[in-house]
Structure 1
Amino acid sequence: MLSVDHLPGRTLLAPDGRQYLFCSGTGYLGTARNPGFAALLAEGLSRYGTNYGASRHGPLQLRVYDEAEAFLAAWVGLPAALTVSSGYLAGQMAVKALARAGRFEYAPGTHPAAWLTEHPAPVGTTRSFDDWARHLLRRLRHETPEPVVIVTNSLDPLRVQRYDFQWTRELPADRPVTLLIDDSHGLGVIGPDGAGIRSEIEVPPSVRLVVVSSLAKACGVPGGVVLADQRFIEELRRSAFFGASSPVVPAYLHAFVQAQPLYRAARVQLMANAQQFGEATAGLKLFQSAPGFPVFFASDAALAPFMEQRGVLISSLNYPTPNDPPITRVVLSALHTREDVARVAELSAEFTAQR
């Protein structure tokens, strides 16, 4: 683990003066190191200051919140949106509001931000997502109808799996059902215009759909959002959970709304990088990957020290606890060049040849 005094972009300068190619983190679009976004943020800071720590229930109402939330709702394709200061807060605010809405059912690997209790037992299951979904539908069909809240990620960003959500069409209409999806790793990357998982979700009219997401990953905004029907969003807006929390720094929302052309250009570069790397490493049988997602999971943890010795830092962390085995991945961003991608692919081939 390196301790540094700066945020890396496509490269990282270590304290010993060595420069590494940086292929880790979650800043898929490279927003945190995008000069154009920095200029928009400076413009926002000039207008709104460095922070706004008051409740949004206060007498001063900044229009940028309504503007950003209207944009997010239209972009994702849900009736309404509400922003908060982190993706974790967005998830917790939503699940707390749904605490009495029914029995909670968690998909494998659901992020802790969407846990109602600290350690919901079903999250630790080794069952595959598809098997879990089939089993869930079977149980719902045969049990006595009762309200249920189904919680899942939009994809698995760790072992890199895109989930098939066709099963959501078959959710029962004979009871109150809520489907809550954490799209933190999808928003800004997958879907039409980067709008996330929403276009892949079809549910019966009686099912309430709620999407929560961090804005800090692809979008580079320290905040989170809940998207749902107008009634649910208004319920959240009236809650003490929302009223007692500080909002997103308004300067960032100003930059976010104005930065859509920058995001689109970055997404084009990101998809090109992911395609290049996927094609270059397809025959190695080293990585598990998913179309349109710039992360490549390696089951062989020895890849990380091999890459580090050759000047490339990839993601390798013990997850979810320090006692768990490492999750090893190559994470590409829009900041990487064709030459960068080719270099990492060449090293991957060299690693495979030595095993």
Structure 2
Amino acid sequence: METPLLTSQLPGRTLVTETATYLYCSGTSYLGMARNEEFQAILQACFATYGTNYSSSRLSNVQLKIFSETEAYLSTWTGAEAALVVSSGLIAGQLIVKTFADTGTFIYGPRTHPALWRTPIDCYQGDYTNWAKEVPEKVRTATSKEVVILTNSLDALWVQTYSFDWITKLPGDKKITIIIDDSHGFGLTGKNGAGVYTQLPELPAHVQVAVISSFGKALGIPGGVILGNVSLIENLKKSAFFGGGSPPVPAYLAAFLQAENIYQQAREKLQENITQFTNNVQQPALFQSFTRYPVFYTRQNSLYAWLLEQQILISHFAYPTPADPPITRIILNSLHTKADIEVLTHQVNAFCASANISY
């Protein structure tokens, strides 16, 4: 396992250490909001209005309007009937899982995020496509009348898009709840970046869907959300895990609502970077990727060391345990300039030539 690089400042388009500055092509700040100066200015003004934290419960006899305003915006943006904001994506997942804990049979997709686990045994390695083919039969043979299906919206590690056509093939004799973790798609994929909720097929009458997501990746703020129908969201509000937990920091939500144009500009810039990268890599089969997504997985783990020598840092770590082989990925963000992408593609092409890699 490589020694991690230590830094005293948050990376953006570059990572600065005590000894060097690297072009930073890692992390999950896909839209670069944590280092976006326009967004930072809005956020500072929002802190002046809302303070640094809301030290109370959403059940308090004093209610800040920003919570319901954000939920209304998220509902309109995604097309969901209702939305519920919480302090993190992990809390969003655990809140809904605990609410459904005693509800029939749970069916997990491969590599489902820990936010949706009941226990670690719920996680397993497998192929999503094969699993999706098997889901209707698993539901049919379930002995309970209610079934909960849990999965990610996509695979951000091995970089695979997921189809949800299997939803239309589910048996009609059971009440089915599908819970999807969209943390690596929300803000990026779907219509206007609204995520997987905008990409789902029409739901059969016996099926309801809840989508959970972190705000901490593409959106670049702390917090999380649950999207679903009104009945589901109202039921979650009755949970002690909701009332007993702190809500998101209001200033971040206010900044999010004021920054719609900034987010859209960042999405457009990211797409320009993706297009430039994919159009100029001479061996595109070096990477596993899908259209309009900023992550590029490669089995050529030696690419990491090559790029590091050229002052370019990409994502490279063992998974799912420290004893496993590393996963190597190039991750683009909206802060990268045209010149950055030129340097990156030049070095990727040089690596392929040096290693005599041809597909």
On whether the aligned pair clears a TM of 0.5, the verdict is yes
CA distance in 1, matches of 2:275, 2:88: 31
CA distance in 1, matches of 2:105, 2:140: 15
CA distance in 1, matches of 2:33, 2:125: 35
The residue type paired with residue 178 of structure 1 is T
Counterpart selection for 1:20 from 4, 19, 22: 22
Going from structure 1 to structure 2, the CA distance change for 1:69 and 1:353 (only over 3 Å counts) comes to: same
Counterpart selection for 1:11 from 10, 14, 24: 14
Partner of 2:165: 166
8 Å CA contact 1:284–1:349 kept in 2: the answer is no
Shift of the alpha carbon at 1:284? 4.3
Shift of the alpha carbon at 1:171? 1.6
The residue type paired with residue 150 of structure 1 is I
Partner of 1:84: 86
CA distance in 1, matches of 2:353, 2:18: 32
8 Å CA contact 1:170–1:204 kept in 2: the answer is no
Shift of the alpha carbon at 1:194? 0.2
CA distance in 1, matches of 2:339, 2:316: 23
Shift of the alpha carbon at 1:279? 2.1
The residue type paired with residue 343 of structure 1 is V
Partner of 1:148: 147
8 Å CA contact 2:283–2:352 kept in 1: the answer is no
4+ residue stretches of structure 1 with deviation over 4 A?
142-145
What are the superposed Cα offsets for residues 93-114 of structure 1, whole Å, 9 maximum, x if unpaired?
A: 1111111222111111110111
8 Å CA contact 1:183–1:211 kept in 2: the answer is yes
TM-score by structure 2 length?
0.95
SS in structure 2 opposite 1:164?
coil
CA distance in 2, matches of 1:169, 1:340: 44
Gaps of 5+ in 1: none
Q: In the alignment, is residue 228 of structure 1 matched against residue 228 of structure 2?
A: yes
CA distance in 2, matches of 1:209, 1:250: 27
The residue type paired with residue 63 of structure 2 is Q
- Equivalent positions of 1:45-56 (< 5 A) are 45-56=47-58
CA distance in 2, matches of 1:58, 1:83: 16
CA distance in 2, matches of 1:152, 1:129: 9
CA distance in 2, matches of 1:157, 1:143: 30
What are the superposed Cα offsets for residues 152-187 of structure 1, whole Å, 9 maximum, x if unpaired?
A: 100000010011111111122211101110000101
8 Å CA contact 1:284–1:352 kept in 2: the answer is no
SS in structure 1 opposite 2:189?
coil
Partner of 1:258: 258
SS in structure 2 opposite 1:328?
strand
Identity of aligned residues (%): 46
Going from structure 1 to structure 2, the CA distance change for 1:348 and 1:186 (only over 3 Å counts) comes to: same
Shift of the alpha carbon at 1:325? 1.4
CA distance in 1, matches of 2:194, 2:205: 21
Shift of the alpha carbon at 1:140? 2.8
CA distance in 2, matches of 1:234, 1:143: 27
8 Å CA contact 2:278–2:284 kept in 1: the answer is no
Partner of 1:109: 111
- Equivalent positions of 1:59-78 (< 5 A) are 59-78=61-80
CA distance in 1, matches of 2:338, 2:168: 40
Q: In the alignment, is residue 354 of structure 1 matched against residue 354 of structure 2?
A: yes
8 Å CA contact 1:148–1:178 kept in 2: the answer is yes
Shift of the alpha carbon at 1:305? 1.2
What are the superposed Cα offsets for residues 303-347 of structure 1, whole Å, 9 maximum, x if unpaired?
A: 111111101000011122212211110000000011111211111
For these two proteins, the number of residue pairs brought into alignment is: 351
Gaps of 5+ in 2: none
SS in structure 1 opposite 2:120?
coil
8 Å CA contact 1:145–1:174 kept in 2: the answer is no
RMSD of aligned residue pairs (Cα, Å): 1.3
8 Å CA contact 1:149–1:178 kept in 2: the answer is yes
8 Å CA contact 1:44–1:251 kept in 2: the answer is yes
SS in structure 2 opposite 1:288?
coil
The residue type paired with residue 192 of structure 2 is D
CA distance in 2, matches of 1:146, 1:346: 57
Shift of the alpha carbon at 1:143? 5.5
